[in-house]
């Protein structure tokens, strides 16, 4: 059982993560960020201790303190993960809001952010290092792969497959049964009625590709 947590990243998700850990009665020892402008400041009264390679950070991890990665940018998240694995042979914990509704049979990986009032229906699965913002609904037997971000209030129908590194904006709707391939982006408020190709960008209702060519 972890005694506390250190958050990597002073950014948009940090305040949400702080709220989650405090509601789950987990002590947050501090925040780390490589940008010096954050050093010697506080976020919700939690100090920004220094950079992610700060010796104090490494010492705390050696004392069984957990780490959570709050960066939204995928490459920053991956860099932090690689650092944790290389230095500590450990992986970050998830931040799961206590108001989230998680049905029996849901499978979930490591390092995820699950916001307030997220609903995961029966036999849905969430991979590793995903971000599900407040109020996201994932219907039954939908598969979400690693490094996916889904905006607040989005509804993902049943039997949907969302591959790695997909971004879905606020308030999107994905009808049942579709596949969104790796690296695709769905704009805020879009309604996706069919499969989405790898790396494509869709906007609108119904959602249409805005890629050239």
Q: Residue 76 — φ and ψ, nearest 5°? A: -65, -40
Domain(s) labelled CATH 2.160.10.10 in the chain stretch across: 94-206
CATH code reported for the domain at 4-93? 3.40.50.20
Q: Which residue has the higher pLDDT, 56 or 166?
A: 166
Global pTM value = 0.93
Q: What is the pLDDT of residues 115-155, one digit of tens each?
A: 999 999 999 999 999 999 999 999 999 999 999 999 999 99
Q: What is the pLDDT of residues 77-109, one digit of tens each?
A: 999 899 888 876 677 899 999 999 999 999 999
Of all residues in the chain, what percent carry a pLDDT higher than 90?
Answer: 76
Domain(s) labelled CATH 3.40.50.20 in the chain stretch across: 4-93
Nearest-angstrom CA–CA distance, 47 and 35: 14
Q: State whether the Cα torsion 13-116-66-24 is positive or negative.
A: positive
Nearest-angstrom CA–CA distance, 138 and 102: 10
Nearest-angstrom CA–CA distance, 141 and 88: 34
Q: Can you identify the CATH homologous superfamily of domain 94-206?
A: Hexapeptide repeat proteins (2.160.10.10)
Contact 209, 200 (CB under 8 A): yes
């Amino acid at each position: 059982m972890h005694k506390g947590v250190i958050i990597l990243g002073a950014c948009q998700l940090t305040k949400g993560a702080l709220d989650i850990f405090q509601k789950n009665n987990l002590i947050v020892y501090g925040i780390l960020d490589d940008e010096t402008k954050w050093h010697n400041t506080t976020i919700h009264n939690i100090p920004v201790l220094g950079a992610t390679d700060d010796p104090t950070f490494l010492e705390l991890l050696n004392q069984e303190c957990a780490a959570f990665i709050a960066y939204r940018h995928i490459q920053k998240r991956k860099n932090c993960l690689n650092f944790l694995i290389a230095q500590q042979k450990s992986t970050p914990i998830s931040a799961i809001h206590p108001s989230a509704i998680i049905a029996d049979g849901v499978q979930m990986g490591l390092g995820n952010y699950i916001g307030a009032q997220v609903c995961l229906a029966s036999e849905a699965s969430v991979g590793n290092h995903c971000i599900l913002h407040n109020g996201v609904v994932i219907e039954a037997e939908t598969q979400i792969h690693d490094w996916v971000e889904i905006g607040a209030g989005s509804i993902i129908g049943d039997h949907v497959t969302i591959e790695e590194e997909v971004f879905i904006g606020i308030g999107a709707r994905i009808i049942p049964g579709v596949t969104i391939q790796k690296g695709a982006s769905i704009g805020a408020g879009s309604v996706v009625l069919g499969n989405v190709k790898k790396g494509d960008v869709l906007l609108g209702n119904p959602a249409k590709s805005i890629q050239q060519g």
